[in-house]
């Protein structure tokens, strides 16, 4: 029991029964000192079984955590730390909060898993018993530990549960079994993951408290006849069946109590302490406290002058005695040594559950929980008070200075909002710098690295890690976009001193039969730097860099293709440049020596041809696969900018005259969405077959355990057929998953190409292009929970309602809070993307700020037929808009007719 400050510990022995004042006692002696407290939710209800303490996350530190469950189904886990009086709990004190579906009746911590010696959390619901594992994942920053609640197993109950107890039933060692008492008097026994048996208590009317005594292997309860009853586990195991009809007719042993004791009142709780050598059973009645021996004889009893609410025996330093904490409905916490009152403390609320826990800053803390959710950690005694009220200096308020300060702060906030900086700017020199060097030469990949016999080339980037200060435990991670892969993704480096340098070399190659969406990679190095303080943990920092892989890694020079299905044309404002000057490494191996045509053979894919016009300043890119043009188009634009920058040309511009290939893009979207739908279908079919397979297994197991063998009735044949179906569905699902990964990579390539064409079409600034890329490419990886379609639909809808709205009055700056889910079809998404391109064609500007979001009217040629806009709230009907192309206006002509959208049918 923790006692701080004013008085020494009470109830520890006959020699310490008097109050001995110590230094600094200035506050009320008989009031529990609040060490840590928190109020759990609003309108939630709690009872006796909703509180338990223990090392639930198996940290091994010896310190306890507090687990609290409510009748509203909320499970919370806390690790309290000392806080200032009145400040309440800190945010980091709450480790976990999970909303469960059913009300929580009781929580227990024990060894409930057969294959593990770790502690697990058992949660009792009215119709279900769940066992969870609480795991902690260490982070790289302070307060970065993440706690997760993982379901290990659960049992669905056929009867409504009242309470439960646990222990080593039958003398088992190293594990705990669970016994649940139902509302109709049935004891259900669970041997961890399996249900053992169930027995009805004789003469049952209403359930009472239940406790297990490991010394005698008995279960103790108080029945509706107001008597304490003890049942041996062995007698329960060999008794007749649970059904009442069979119990009357069966010839087996009837269940009888080992001993009984009439107490004449209903019991609130039963506790069997395990820390004392004396055999004691404590029963808390409505007006009396009983201490019984293991054979049911009364050791002592205490008549109470109040209505108790909860109690807890705890260890005493006096031999042969036991201390008790007793809470009552007068908000008092009483300390007894056997029957003698040793201490009384006032609480702030009526406790319904009480525990004693050991925390990092204080041991023996009293943890109480009220029915309204007031969780309090307190100790006995007083605190010294050194607070002195400061002198108040009255001064007049200068309103002019306040107004000037307010205007300055508003200006700073406005500038910070307008810049929209995501990452903080680092002014000081970095402690660790990472540099990537990529050579232009590629090598053939060895056969042991190839997958599906893909002919590929490899490249070996060189990473340099240089430290300015001493760094500890540097870890380097490499990430590339699939289907690119690296020979090693993680490297653990040795600790580095000031000025030291380390090098890391790895190989990058293509291992699938489709091109990647990006030829780039990221290198991240996490490390820690000492703070110089012995009592502080080292600071964890991260350094990163990016590298770009050459185009030769994924394609080879090839013979040009004259005819192609898909073509795009890039306009420039400068004279034609020979493709041999732009792609010298490809022109050396190409058969075309004039420099007007160059072809790229993508590995395991199509041929992409680049043609330079002989009369105009245009370049045509064509291929049989639409998304394969992306990498070549990106490389061509980047090399054009680099070439003219080296020539000293500052006004070089690329442009795209249209049309925007929306229909080709939508075909790729449809294919990706179809594979996602198939993945859900395979998942549902697998779940059905798995349920069927487990049901057949249970029936076969029942037949095999039966003492009188019965025919299998073709259950073995049905099981074999179901197993084959499960294997076939699993193979089909895996094949669909691989196809989905490939489709997502192709979708990202097509989206990159669409963004580039839109940027060239309207001359978007880099900031606007970044917003468009974040809108159409919000995900780096597809998941079953969140896919590309619903994410893009939400982002595009937000742009259409804000910066691309038809008028400032229609702008809705509030974000939608609805949960994203996979759409039923692609009609709505296609309509929104078409409308996005249409409004960009009318002069709409992409901006994240609320200012200057009004569209600029653009005069369009009179030959273009305007198409009325569709309201976003209308049903998603996409008739012909997705098949129409958006054509750029001719800047050299002055329109004299109607203005409208630039949607033209393909010629």
DSSP code for 391: P
pLDDT digits (tens, 9 = 90+) for 308-339: 999 999 887 777 788 899 999 999 999 999 88
3-state secondary structure 587-649: HCCCCCCCCCEEEEEECCCCEEEEEECCCCCEEEEEECCCCCHHHHHHHHHHHHHHHHHHCCC
pLDDT for the residue 56: 92
For residue 445, pLDDT beyond 90: no
Does the pLDDT at position 385 exceed 80?
Answer: no
* 145-149, 477-481, 896-900: least confident range: 896-900
Query: Which pLDDT score is estimated for 85?
Result: 60
pLDDT-above-90 percentage for the chain: 37
pLDDT given at position 533: 63
Inter-CA distances, 36 with 24, 77, 86, 619, 739, Å: 21, 14, 9, 72, 55
Angstrom distance (rounded) from CA 212 to CA 205: 21
- Supply the DSSP string of 436-469, one letter for each residue: EE--S--EEPPGGG-STT---EEE--EEEEEESS
Residue 654 in contact with residue 640, Cβ under 8 Å? yes
Across 40-119, the runs of DSSP E, i.e. the strands, are 51-54, 65-69, 74-78, 94-99, 106-110
Is the pLDDT assigned to residue 587 strictly greater than 80? no
**pLDDT band (50, 70, 90) for residue 691:** very high
Q: Is the pLDDT of residue 499 over 90?
A: no
Q: Report the C-alpha gap between 832 and 794 in whole angstroms.
A: 10
Higher pLDDT, 209 or 600: 209
Least confidently predicted of 173-177, 557-561, 766-770, 771-775: 557-561
In the predicted structure, residue 406 carries a pLDDT above the cut 90:
yes
The per-residue pLDDT of the chain, averaged, comes to 81
pLDDT tops 80 at residue 292: yes
Give the pLDDT confidence score for residue 893 in this predicted structure. 37
How many residues does the structure list for the chain?
907
Residue 674 CA: distances (Å) to CA of 535, 739, 782: 57, 11, 14
Q: Which of 207-211, 339-343, 435-439, 562-566 has the lowest mean pLDDT?
A: 562-566
The percentage of residues in the chain with a pLDDT greater than 70, rounded to a whole number, is 80
Contact predicate 644/582, CB 8 Å: no
Cα separation, 23 vs 9, whole angstroms: 14
Amino acid 857: pLDDT? 40
Q: Of 510, 327, 435, whose CA–CA distance to 335 is shortest? A: 327
pLDDT tops 60 at residue 874: no
Please state which of the ranges 347-361, 547-561, 843-857 shows the lowest mean pLDDT.
Answer: 843-857
Q: Which residues contact 100 (CB under 8 A, 6 or more apart)?
A: 69, 73, 74, 75, 123, 125, 130
Torsion of CA 596, 600, 601, 607, to 10 degrees: -70
Q: What is the DSSP letter of 16?
A: G
Query: Which two tokens mark 376?
Result: 């309090």
| pLDDT digit string, tens, across residues 531-553 | 766 666 778 889 999 999 888 88
pLDDT tops 60 at residue 795: yes
* Residue 790, H or E segment: helix 788-801
Confidence at residue 897, expressed as pLDDT on a 0 to 100 scale = 38
% helix / strand / coil in the chain, to the nearest 5? 25, 30, 45
* pLDDT of the residue at 808: 62
pLDDT at position 873, please? 40
pLDDT at 683 over 60: yes
For residue 892, pLDDT beyond 50: no
Nearest to 214 by CA among 182, 175, 187: 175
User: Per-residue DSSP letters for 327-357?
Assistant: EETTSEEEEEETTEEEEEEE-SS-EEEEEEE
pLDDT band at 230 (very low <50, low <70, confident <90, very high): very high
Residue 277 pLDDT greater than 50, yes or no = yes
Mean pLDDT of 891-907: 35
> Tokens 């059905």, residue?
688
Res 213 pLDDT > 90: yes
Instruction: Output the pLDDT for position 511.
Output: 82
What is the per-residue pLDDT for 889?
37
Q: Is 743 in contact with 671 (CB distance < 8 Å)?
A: yes
Range 336-354 average pLDDT: 91
pLDDT score recorded for residue 817 = 62
Backbone angles phi, psi at 828, to 5 degrees: -65, -45
Sign of the four-CA dihedral 79, 80, 81, 87: positive
Phi-psi region of 23 (alpha: psi -120 to 50; beta: other; left: phi over 0): beta
* Greatest pairwise CA separation for the chain in angstroms: 112
DSSP 114: T
Does 273 score more than 70 pLDDT?
yes
> In the structure, how many helices (H) and strands (E) does the chain have?
11, 48
Task: Write the pLDDT tens digit of every residue in 105-140.
Answer: 999 999 999 888 899 999 999 999 999 999 988 766
| DSSP symbols for 644-712 | HHHTT-----EE------HHHHHHHHHHHHHHHHHHHHHHHHHHHHHHHHHHHHHHHHHHHH-SS----
Say which range, 405-409, 428-432, 464-468, 792-796, has the weakest mean pLDDT. 428-432
Q: What angle do CA 570, 576, 577 make, to 5 degrees?
A: 105
452: left (phi over 0), alpha (psi -120 to 50) or beta: left
Q: Note whether 431 and 468 are within 8 A (CB).
A: yes
Selected residue with higher pLDDT from 12 and 677: 677
pLDDT for 535 equals 62
| pLDDT at residue 891 tops 50 | no
User: Please, which residues have CB within 8 angstroms of residue 202's CB and are 6 or more apart in sequence?
Assistant: 254, 255, 256, 257
Report pLDDT for 363: 86
Is the pLDDT assigned to residue 749 strictly greater than 50?
A: yes
């Amino acid at each position: 029991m923790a006692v701080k400050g004013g008085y020494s510990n009470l109830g520890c022995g006959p020699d310490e029964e008097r109050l001995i004042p110590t230094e600094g006692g200035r506050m009320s002696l008989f009031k529990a000192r609040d060490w840590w407290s928190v109020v759990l939710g609003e309108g939630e209800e709690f009872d006796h079984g909703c509180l338990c303490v223990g090392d639930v996350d198996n940290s091994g530190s010896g310190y306890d955590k507090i687990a609290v469950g409510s009748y509203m189904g909320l499970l919370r886990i806390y690790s309290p730390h000392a806080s200032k009086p009145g400040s309440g709990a800190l945010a980091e004190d709450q480790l976990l909060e999970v909303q469960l579906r059913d009300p929580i009746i009781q929580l227990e911590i024990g060894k409930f898993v057969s294959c593990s010696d770790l502690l697990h959390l058992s949660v009792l619901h009215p119709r279900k018993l769940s066992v969870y594992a609480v795991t902690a994942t260490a982070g790289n920053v302070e307060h970065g530990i993440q706690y997760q609640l993982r379901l290990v197993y659960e049992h669905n109950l056929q009867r409504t549960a009242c309470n439960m107890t646990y222990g080593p039933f039958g003398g088992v060692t190293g594990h705990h079994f669970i016994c649940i008492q139902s509302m109709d008097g049935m004891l259900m026994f669970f041997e961890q993951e399996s249900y053992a048996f169930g027995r009805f208590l004789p003469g049952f009317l209403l359930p009472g408290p239940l406790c297990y005594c490991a010394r005698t292997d008995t279960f103790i309860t108080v029945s509706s006849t107001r008597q304490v009853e003890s049942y041996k586990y062995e007698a329960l195991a060999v008794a007749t069946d649970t059904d009442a009809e069979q119990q009357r007719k069966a010839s087996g042993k009837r269940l009888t109590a080992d001993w009984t004791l009439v107490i004449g009142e209903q019991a609130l709780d039963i506790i069997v302490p395990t820390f004392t050598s004396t055999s004691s059973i404590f029963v808390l009645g409505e007006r009396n406290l009983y201490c019984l021996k293991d054979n049911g004889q009364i050791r002592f009893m205490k008549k109470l002058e109040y209505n108790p609410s909860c109690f807890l025996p705890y260890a005493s330093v006096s031999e042969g005695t036991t201390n008790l904490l007793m809470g009552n409905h007068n908000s008092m916490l009483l300390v007894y040594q056997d029957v003698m009152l040793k201490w009384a403390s006032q609480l702030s609320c009526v406790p319904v559950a009480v525990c004693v826990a050991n925390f990092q800053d204080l041991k023996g803390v009293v943890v109480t929980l009220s029915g309204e959710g007031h969780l309090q950690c307190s100790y006995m005694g007083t605190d010294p008070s050194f607070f002195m009220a400061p002198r108040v200096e009255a001064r007049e308020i200068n309103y002019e200075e306040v107004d000037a300060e307010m205007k300055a702060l508003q200006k700073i906030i406005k500038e910070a909002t307008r810049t929209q900086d995501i990452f903080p700017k680092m002014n000081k020199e970095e402690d660790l710098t990472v540099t990537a060097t990529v050579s232009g030469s590629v090598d053939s990949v060895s056969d042991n690295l190839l997958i599906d016999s893909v002919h590929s080339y490899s490249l070996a980037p060189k990473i340099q890690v240089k430290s300015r200060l001493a760094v500890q435990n540097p870890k380097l991670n490499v990430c590339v976009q699939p289907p690119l892969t690296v020979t090693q993704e993680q490297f653990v480096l040795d600790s580095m001193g000031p000025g030291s340098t380390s090098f890391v070399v790895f190989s990058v190659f293509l291992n699938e039969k489709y091109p990647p969406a990006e030829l780039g990679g990221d290198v991240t190095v996490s490390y820690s730097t000492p703070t110089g303080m012995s009592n502080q943990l080292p600071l964890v920092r991260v350094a990163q860099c990016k590298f770009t892989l050459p185009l030769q890694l994924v394609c080879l020079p090839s013979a040009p293709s004259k005819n192609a299905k898909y073509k795009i044309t890039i306009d420039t404002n400068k004279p034609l440049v020979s493709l041999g000057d732009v792609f010298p490494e490809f022109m050396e191996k190409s058969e075309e020596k004039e420099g007007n045509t160059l072809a790229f053979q993508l590995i395991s894919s199509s041929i992409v041809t680049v043609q330079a016009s002989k009369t105009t300043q245009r370049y045509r890119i064509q291929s049989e696969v639409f998304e394969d043009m992306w990498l070549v188009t990106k490389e061509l634009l980047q090399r054009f900018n680099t070439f003219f920058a080296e020539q000293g040309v500052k006004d070089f511009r690329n442009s795209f005259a249209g049309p925007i290939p929306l229909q080709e893009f939508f075909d790729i979207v449809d294919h990706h969405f179809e594979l996602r739908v198939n993945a859900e279908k395979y998942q549902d079919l697998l779940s059905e077959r798995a349920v069927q397979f487990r049901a057949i297994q249970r029936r076969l197991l029942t037949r095999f355990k039966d003492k009188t063998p019965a025919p299998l009735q073709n259950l073995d044949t049905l099981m074999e057929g179901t197993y084959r179906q499960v294997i076939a569905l699993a193979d089909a699902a895996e094949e669909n998953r691989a196809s989905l990964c490939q489709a997502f990579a192709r979708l990202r390539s097509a989206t990159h190409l669409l963004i580039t064409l839109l940027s060239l079409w309207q001359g978007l600034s880099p900031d606007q292009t970044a917003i468009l890329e974040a809108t159409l490419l919000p995900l780096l990886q597809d998941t079953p929970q969140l896919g590309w379609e619903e994410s893009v639909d939400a982002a595009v809808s937000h742009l259409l309602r804000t910066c691309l709205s038809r008028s400032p009055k229609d702008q809705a700056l509030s974000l939608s809070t609805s949960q994203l889910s996979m759409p039923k079809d692609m009609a709505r998404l296609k309509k929104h993307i078409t409308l996005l391109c249409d409004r960009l064609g009318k002069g709409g500007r992409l901006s994240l700020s609320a200012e200057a979001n009004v569209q600029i009217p653009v005069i369009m040629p009179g030959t273009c037929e305007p198409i009325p806009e569709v309201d976003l709230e209308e049903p998603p009907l996409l008739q012909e808009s997705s098949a129409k192309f958006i054509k750029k206006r001719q800047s050299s002509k002055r329109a004299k007719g109607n203005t409208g959208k630039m949607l033209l049918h393909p010629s």
